[in-house]
Structure 1
Amino acid sequence: MTSPAQLFTDVIRSRRSTRAFLPDPVPADDIRGVLEDAQRAPSHSNTQPWEVHVFSGDARDLLAEAMLKAFEAGQMSPDFTTTYGADDSVHTQRSQQAGAVLYGAMGIARDDVDGRTKAVAENLRFYGAPHVALLFVPELGDVVRAANDVGMYAQNFLLSLTARGYHGVPQGMHGLFADAVRAHLGLPADLKLLYGISFGTADPDAAVNRLDIGRAPLEEHIVLHDTRL
């Protein structure tokens, strides 16, 4: 019999960021279940500083239209910085390596500017996913602690999708068009857009969905203090 710990490990390690979806909608009961699981995330002093907008159907299409219009006009308005440090930083290198693998799976050459632009725009079409959730955070202090709480909410959301047989992808690019999204939804300026999560069922025939970008070894991240592994 598989232990709860092994089942949990299997869910975590099988999660992937999906970038090609089938159009089939997720049943309402499963969407509610995912949202209820996400709601169990810890937060500082139980502040629960997340506001989540979920879009499907025509509402999803209108949101995509609003963000694509801003993208085509070059009207980016991120609430938070999006840099990864110096060009030779390990974080930038990881990002570049992941990008090379992803574009390679899509058959897009490094010098194919038009192809890359079209691929970037697919972020704003949610990679064909039937649903997208936008995660906002109120302007509390320097927002760092609240944003961290929303990150834990998002992880619960993604793992719940995986456990239920669905798939998702967190998309920082949605946050690049915060003003356009707020205008579209009539939201106040002090509600900050972190990112979106597109979700549904992965297209099993898409090569990009079979990628495993991998993670750095523990030694690159962990410092042990009187701890044996």
Structure 2
Amino acid sequence: MNYDEVVRGRRSIRGYQQKPVPKAVIREVLELAMRSPSSLNTQPWNFYVVSGEPLDRIRAGNTERNLAGVPHSREFRVHGEYGGQHRERQIGVAKQLFAAMGIAREDKDARQDWVLRGFRQFDAPVSIVVTYDRSIHGSDIGPFDAGAVTNALVNAAWSRGLGCVINSQGIMQSPVVREHAGIADDQVIMICVAMGYPDDDFPANAVVSERKSVDEAAVFVGFED
């Protein structure tokens, strides 16, 4: 695939084949992702690639603590509820997903099951926990660079036939993630990425989220019409 095909074709994947992902392919994906630009070439990112039993323990601990009402402990700043157009877009993609999955508005059990899938990192065979160096924590540069490398990661994965979904639900209970992924104290947990081979029979995988137009997003200054 060329670059346009990767970017236009990539979708968030929320249903996976239970098929192992070769370590060598993940290394290729990370190598490509790490070509991402970073501030002053600081490259503050690191990756904890988790699979198998350690990932199962993270899923279980994350789910149990969330269901027990333990407050989330994500290590990035959260903003609370969205409003305005941001909320409308959030609701829009939720409607797309629920329609694809046949989840009715009044079906509380199905909606709860969907939330639990997020806590389980969508049962993907691999989770990549993206961290950045605590020594630069407190500025926006570390999170900015971590976001850039995560975008590059999901596109590189797609180019290798792998699907991903960037998932903050999977790191809601950071002590669980730290323990079972062996994350060093000098790292800040930014996000996790569920990864695996897409299950083509999983309806939500066909959903392509709507995007606002360039005219809505961009202001051109100093150009002639």
TM-score by length of 2: 0.90
CA contact (8 A) 1:70 1:180 kept: no
1:142 aligned partner: 138
1:67 aligned partner: 62
Counterparts of residues 70-109 of structure 1 (less than 5 Å): 70-75=65-70, 76-83=72-79, 87=83, 89-109=84-104
2:5 aligned partner: 10
1:32 aligned partner: 27
Deviations 1:184-210 (A, max 9, x none): 445466632221111111111111111
Give the drift of 1:100: 1.5
Q: Please, which of 125, 128, 135 is the counterpart of residue 130 of structure 1?
A: 125
TM-score by length of 1: 0.88
Q: Secondary structure at the match of 2:194?
A: strand
Q: Secondary structure at the match of 1:168?
A: strand
Deviations 1:13-36 (A, max 9, x none): 100000100011112221110111
* Counterpart Cα distance in 2 of 1:71 and 1:123: 11
Percent identity among equivalent residues?
Answer: 29
Q: Structure 1 stretch 206-215 or stretch 173-182: which is displaced more?
A: 173-182
* Counterpart Cα distance in 1 of 2:81 and 2:137: 24
Aligned-CA RMSD value? 2.1
Q: Please, which of 186, 196, 199 is the counterpart of residue 192 of structure 2?
A: 196
5+ residue gaps, structure 2: none
* Counterpart Cα distance in 2 of 1:80 and 1:43: 19
Establish whether residue 160 from structure 1 lines up as the match of residue 152 from structure 2.
no
CA contact (8 A) 2:59 2:170 kept: no
Q: Structure 1 stretch 93-102 or stretch 119-128: which is displaced more?
A: 119-128
Establish whether residue 19 from structure 1 lines up as the match of residue 11 from structure 2.
no
In the alignment, residue 112 of structure 1 is paired with which amino acid? D
1:212 aligned partner: 208
5+ residue gaps, structure 1: 1-5
Q: Secondary structure at the match of 2:197?
A: strand
Evaluate the alpha carbon distance shift between residue 104 and residue 82 of structure 1 in structure 2; reply closer, same or farther with a 3 A threshold: farther
Q: Please, which of 114, 120, 126 is the counterpart of residue 119 of structure 1?
A: 114
Evaluate the alpha carbon distance shift between residue 84 and residue 8 of structure 1 in structure 2; reply closer, same or farther with a 3 A threshold: farther
Evaluate the alpha carbon distance shift between residue 28 and residue 100 of structure 1 in structure 2; reply closer, same or farther with a 3 A threshold: same
1:3 aligned partner: none
Give the drift of 1:180: 2.9
Give the drift of 1:124: 2.5
* Counterpart Cα distance in 2 of 1:179 and 1:126: 16
